[in-house]
Amino acid sequence: MRQAGRSLPEYREIRANVPMLESCRRPELVTEITLQPVRRHGVDAAILFSDIVVPVAAAGIDLDIVPGTGPVVAEPIRTAADVQRIRQITRDDVSYVDEAVRQLVVELGDTPLIGFAGAPFTLASYLVEGGPSRNHVKTKALMYGDPELWHALCARLAEVTLSFLRVQIEAGVSAVQLFDSWAGALSEADYRRFVLPHSTAVLSGLVDDCSGSGHGDRRAEPERSPDGVPRIHFGVGTAELLGAMGEAGADVVGVDWRTPLDVATGRIGADKAVQGNLDPCVLFAPWPVIEAEVRRILKQGRAAPGHVFNLGHGVLPETDPEVLTRVVALVHELSSRRADQG
């Protein structure tokens, strides 16, 4: 449940007077904020507290995360010279993430930690627009108007993303999630032409990495797949893209609330697990409605070979934390009952 922390008073307290980017760069704060929803709700996995723009800032791009707005870039990327400003990153550029992950792995014990990064299209949108955008007009203008520059930008972002995920995997995360939150703005044809090769470069790069030398110790651990840590790929409004996103190489495809999970599985293929997909707004409905939705989603998720129960997008800040705790308990109760039945 991404951003579960935002609805918690203990999160608001610890973040008071600490700007978002600074909190992402202080390992002790990252550790504490990541642990808060695990302690409170008893979820089965923790998601690292960071943001998709953290590696881009580490790569030399001047940006800030503005309260109530989101990421804002001082000088948007629009030319070939601008693309050159995005440096490749090494572990030293994000040592605070390395340190936080190592600390968290110890603190979390058996609870897995999910690392993450933004996918090239969603990162490119923030960089080209200069901030959050409804229609991604400048991004699409660049994509259609100068495909060569577009591909150069996405290839550079894929390299930064891959390095960022490798740092997290080497520090010990148990799974990674690649967020292409705004890919749903594209048609399938444009997604395949302009985005899929770059997301594939990231997801398949992780496999090459993990099955090569240097990760032999990890592969020996029984809970890890032979291809390295499990990879989750997520987007919003992606009903028409689910098949193509599944081809990018992840083990699990995230589905928002618009597509029932059994329908989603039909599009993604029966060889991949799904993640999702409770509408975050349903958490504001009376409990019997929430319960019925959770039951429906768990039932439809059985069409896939695996199902990670989650919301269809991030937790809204106004959500009542007690409702989240109750949803987690219900999912646990219903899934253990099913496991008992074999």
Q: Choose, from 15, 40, 156, 267, the residue flagged as catalytic.
A: 15
Classified as helix, coil or strand, 177 is strand
Does residue 194 bind ligand 1CP (CB under 6 A)? no
Rounded to 10°, the helix 147-171/120-129 angle is 120
CA distance 117 to 229: 14
183, 239 Cβ separation under 8 angstroms: no
Largest CA distance in the chain: 61
Q: According to CB under 6 A, which one of 31, 103, 181, 275 is a site residue for ligand 1CP?
A: 181
Strands 46-47 and 63-66: unpaired
Please report how close the Cβ of residue 2 comes to ligand 1CP at its closest, in angstroms: 5
Site string for ligand 1CP, 78-117 (x = CB under 6 A): --------------------------------------x-
Residue 173's contacts (CB-CB under 8 Å, 6 or more residues apart) are 48, 101, 105, 112, 113, 114, 115, 229
Q: According to CB under 6 A, which one of 179, 191, 194, 309 is a site residue for ligand 1CP?
A: 179
Classified as helix, coil or strand, 192 is helix
Q: Annotated catalytic, 96?
A: no
Q: Of 240, 271, 260, 253, whose CA–CA distance to 308 is shortest? A: 253
Q: Annotated catalytic, 51?
A: yes
Q: Annotated catalytic, 166?
A: no
Q: Annotated catalytic, 15?
A: yes
Q: According to CB under 6 A, which one of 44, 45, 70, 197 is a site residue for ligand 1CP?
A: 70
Nearer to ligand 1CP, 16 or 220 (CB): 16
Residue 171: both structure tokens together: 């520090």
Q: Choose, from 51, 82, 146, 190, the residue flagged as catalytic.
A: 51
Q: What does the binding site for ligand 1CP look like in residue numbers (CB under 6 A)?
A: 2-6, 15, 20, 47, 49-52, 65, 67, 70-71, 116, 122, 132, 179, 181, 314
User: Which of the residues are catalytic?
Assistant: 2, 6, 15, 51, 126
